[in-house]
Amino acid sequence: MTADDFWTGSRSAAFGGTTTVVPFAAQHRGMSITEVVADAMERAATEMTVDYGMHLIVTDWEDPAPGEFAAVAATGLAAVKIYLTYDRLKVPGSRAIELMQAARAAGVPVMVHAEDDAIVGWGRDERVAAGRLGADSHAYSHSRGAEWSGVAQAIALAEAAGASLYLAHISTPQAVDLVLAARRRGVDVVAETCPHYLLLDESAYDSPIETAAPFMCSPPLRGPAERAGLMAQLAAGDIAVVSSDHSPYTMDQKLPGGPATAFTESANGLPGVELRLPLLYTAAVADGPLSMGDFVRLVATNPAKICGLYPRKGSLQVGSDADLVIWDETAWTVRGADMHDNVGYTPYEGMELQGKAAIVVAGGELIVDEAGRAIRPGRGEFVARH
Ligand SMILES: [Zn+2]
């Protein structure tokens, strides 16, 4: 139901200077994970314009998924993702441990959407009962505490299973502190954050929902203290990856009831893959403490290593793919109309950024330059985890 398919999403990535993407094949309850992955791989083969890995979202760890998992993972999945919240997505605790054990046996990391279901559900129900249906209630229910509790749970589950844990889209420095404490006692866990948590502010939710909806994501945007804390952790090397969490929905999907849409009905997620590099560069390098080397490590080297794509990806050396970006440090202004996704808006409209990909080479082929574009569906290849 996302606004982008693999063609428009990978096209947007390519124009932004991202030469490998790792999207999700999502299981809905009752579906065979073998069929889910086969279907996504078939669509990816004809649509992707850049190389790609594949994650699998598991929402139903009942038969036959456990029996199918080893063979599915052996096709080269980068990671398997589970949710701790959302009624239609969450995998309950004991099942999550079993899944993590299977992932450990298959040599695949487990990515977790770590928000505490009880805290999120309580906050949602309280606000709905009070008739407070605005965007601020989304942030109220998906609270900072919901993330801290979810991260603590995910770490405990992974520790019990001996699994390798990847915490997706972390929005608070306190959650990263939990990761660091777990690492000190030997847990195999890393944290990811996203540009929107470094640049956008939760005050966006104080507006009517038709103005606030473009900023609604899970976890939600936070405040200046969180942004400063995350930036310090990026500089210290405490956060492994900055990813897009590209989660594209049109305004029609975000506002199915127009101005009367309740926060519970709005699709959560932001487009982000095309602006991932310029946003991070602006916030963390041009205006922040990171070096160009730190930047490359966060957006390319570490994700390639974690997804099992290194050194074919994430490295410049003989034998690696010639995926190259020539970076132009000039300042420029974001216009949604210039984006190459299928979303129709950008939450960064009018923002002045510094730096963008001027020339993009993928597999030795010039795919984006000032004059011409050789982007086409189906040119990307699957890269299996190894
Ligand atoms: Zn998530």
How many A from CA of 343 to the centre of ligand 1? 19
Residue 24, φ and ψ in degrees, nearest 5:
-115, 135
- Amino acid type, 257: G
Ion ligand 1: residue ranges with CB closer than 5 A: 113
- In the reported structure, the alpha carbon of residue 295 is separated from the centroid of ligand 1 by a whole-number distance in angstroms of 23
* Tokens 């969180």 sit on residue: 226
Measured CA to CA, the distance from residue 52 to residue 17 in angstroms comes to 14
**Centre of ligand 1 from the C-alpha of residue 319, in Å:** 34
Tell me the C-alpha distance between 315 and 330, whole Å.
25
Q: How far from the centroid of its chain's Cα atoms is residue 222's Cα?
A: 17
What DSSP designation does 244 have? Answer: -
Q: What is the pTM of this model?
A: 0.97
**CA 84 to centroid of ligand 1, rounded, Å:** 9
Q: Is 212 left (phi over 0), alpha (psi -120 to 50) or beta?
A: alpha
* Residue 114 Cα to ligand 1 middle (Å): 8
CA of residue 121 to ligand 1 center, whole Å: 16
Q: How far is the CA of 368 from the centre of ligand 1 (A)?
A: 30
Q: Which two tokens stand for residue 296?
A: 């490359």
Distance separating alpha carbons of residues 245 and 276, to the nearest angstrom? 9
Phi-psi region of 312 (alpha: psi -120 to 50; beta: other; left: phi over 0): alpha
User: How many Å lie between the centroid of ligand 1 and the Cα of residue 49?
Assistant: 24
Question: What's the CA-to-centroid distance between 81 and ligand 1, angstroms?
Answer: 8
pLDDT of the residue at 149: 98
Q: Label residue 211 left, alpha or beta by phi (over 0 means left) and psi (-120 to 50 means alpha).
A: alpha
Angle of the 6-16 helix axis to the 33-47 helix axis, nearest 10: 60
Closest CA to 214 of 352, 113, 344: 344
Task: Give residue 23 CA to ligand 1 midpoint distance, Å.
Answer: 12
How far is the centre of ligand 1, averaged over its atoms, from the C-alpha of 113 (Å)?
Answer: 4
Ligand 1 center from residue 83 Cα (angstroms): 7
DSSP letter at 285 equals I
How many Å lie between the centroid of ligand 1 and the Cα of residue 370?
A: 35
Q: Which residues of the chain have pLDDT under 50?
A: none
Which phi-psi region, left, alpha or beta, contains residue 75 (left: φ > 0; alpha: ψ -120 to 50)?
alpha
Cα of 322 from ligand 1 centre, angstroms:
31
Tell me the CA–centroid distance for residue 168 and ligand 1, in Å: 6
- 343: phi then psi, degrees, rounded to nearest 5: -95, -40
| SS3 (DSSP) at 360 | strand
CA–CA gap between residue 262 and residue 298 (Å, rounded): 36
Report the residue count for the chain.
386
**Topology (CATH) of 6-368:** TIM Barrel (3.20.20)
What gap in Å lies between CA 144 and CA 44, rounded to an integer?
35
Q: How far is the CA of 124 from the centre of ligand 1 (A)?
A: 18
Predicted pLDDT at 372? 65
How far is 234 from 299, CA to CA, in rounded Å? 12
Q: Are the CB atoms for 242 and 233 separated by under 8 Å?
A: no
State in Å: Cα 175 to ligand 1 middle.
15
Give the pLDDT of residue 1: 80
- Ligand 1 centre from 211 Cα, in Å? 23
Calpha distance 205→87 (Å, rounded) = 24
Instruction: Let me know the angle formed at the C-alpha of 370 by 350 and 296, rounded to the nearest 5 degrees.
Output: 70
Residues 6+ positions from 116 with CB-CB distance below 8 Å: 84, 85, 145, 146, 147, 149, 150, 153
Give the separation between CA 107 and CA 11, rounded to whole angstroms.
30
Expressed in angstroms and rounded, the spacing between residue 359 Cα and the centre of ligand 1 is 31
Q: Distance from the CA of 374 to the center of ligand 1, in angstroms?
A: 32
